[in-house]
Structure 1
Amino acid sequence: MSATPETADTGVTTDLDPERVAYLEALAQQRWFFLHTVEGLTDDQARLTPTASELCLGGLVKHVALTERGWTDFVEHGSMAGGEDADHEAREREFRLADDETLEEVVALFHEVAAHTDELIRTVDLSASHELPPAPWFTPGERRSARRVFAHLLCELAHHTGHADILRESIDGQRSMG
């Protein structure tokens, strides 16, 4: 039996300031709900697109991990893929669990990226900021702080957790969030 979001080990220590603890705990809870939606699925089930959208659970796990990795690259290096020069075909493939990929592999990637994000939350200057890359959805010259990136990652994860819950319920009736 897996842990519940309340009993999951968040890795949070008491020597961190409350803001960092809040990010770590909120992300741990959302990650638990998100990954709960893929527990017990086969790779074939994780590839299903059971709703009117083209989303599948395996692809969502991969997309969330790769997007989070892009934002942590931004926090660390001030650069990220996905601006005007983005490979849009590659971006679309993020939402698919390809035949040569397994759910186990993308869940492992998700855990690896999450661990790195958590370490950054524990250690980076939350006020440090970088200019966003050119893209139609960013205001030219706009900057993002690490703090704002981590808040954005939490929002993105919660958003996709809702998608995942609907997909899982459509596959086999399991409801992850209620």
Structure 2
Amino acid sequence: MSTTDQLTGERADLMQTLRLHRGFLRQTVEGLTDEQAAARSTVSELCPGGLIKHVTQVEQRWMRFAVGGADAMNSEPLDWVGQFRMDEGETLAGLLDDYARVAAATDELVGTLDLDANHPLPQAPWFQPGASWSVRRVLLHLVAETSQHAGHADILREAIDGAKTMG
């Protein structure tokens, strides 16, 4: 039995919600070819595979933050533009495998973290200077981020082949 199977209360609710929205995102890209997953079906830079890549990187970075703060979060470089598209040689299956690996690591880690632990946010124009986030706030952010991008992926998928996650 994994740590996540033993979660109760608030922790269980947070993880159940995050898993639900991860599932919507995975369902949305199910059955796409690599070419379709890399296709930009709107005027934006977004493609379904790029969204999988982005949420994987976001979840990994925020969980590094939850454990070690801003320095840990920024310990690996991030390609701000490239994270939203599939690079030459990347496959949707490979991106989904990476996402599953990161999700499993998050799921295991959540059972060990103090939800009230706080870390100062990294300096960035979108964060209030001097603000801190708790691990709880990080998990809420991951739910919001995953949910928002699942909706983006649904729009992109519908423009590619008419398929919809719901409806």
TM normalised by structure 1 equals 0.86
Q: Look up the match of 2:22.
A: 31
Equivalent position to 1:81, from 74, 78, 81:
74
1:138 offset after TM fit, Å? 1.1
Question: 1:109: Cα distance to partner?
Answer: 0.8
Matched, 1:168 2:157: yes
Structure holding more helix per residue = 2
Of the three residues 23, 31, 52, the one matched with 1:61 is 52
Q: Which amino acid aligns with 1:43?
A: D
Residue 134 of structure 1 pairs with residue 134 of structure 2: no
Residue 3 (structure 1) aligns with: none
Higher relative contact order (Cα pairs below 8 Å, separated by 6+ residues):
2
Q: What does residue range 1-178 of structure 1 map to in structure 2 within 5 Å?
A: 12-13=4-5, 15-79=6-70, 80-81=73-74, 90-178=79-167
| 8 Å CA contact retained: 1:12, 1:25 | no
CA distance in 2, matches of 1:139, 1:71: 17
Q: Matched residues in 2 for 1:45 and 1:112: separation?
A: 23
Structure 2 counterpart of 1:40, one-letter code: G
Query: Aligned partner of 1:81: which letter?
Result: N
RMSD: 1.8
Is the 8 Å Cα contact of residues 38 and 48 (structure 2) preserved in structure 1? Answer: yes
Contact 1:71 1:149 in 2 (8 A): yes
Q: Distance in 1 between matches of 2:3 and 2:40?
A: 34
- After TM superposition, the score normalised by the length of structure 2 is 0.92
* Alpha-carbon distance between aligned partners in 2 of 1:168 and 1:132, rounded to the nearest angstrom: 34
Shift of 1:45: 0.6
Structure 2 portions without partners, runs of 5+: none
Distance 2:54 2:16 in 1: 22
How many pairs align? 163
Deviation at 1:117, TM superposition (A): 1.2
Q: 132-141 or 157-166, which moves further after superposition? A: 132-141
User: What is the Cα deviation at residue 127 of structure 1?
Assistant: 0.4
Identity between Structure 1 and Structure 2 (%)? 47
Deviation at 1:155, TM superposition (A): 0.4
| Counterpart-to-counterpart distance in 1, 2:115 and 2:24 | 26
For the residues of structure 2 that align with 1:137 and 1:122, how far apart are their CA atoms?
29
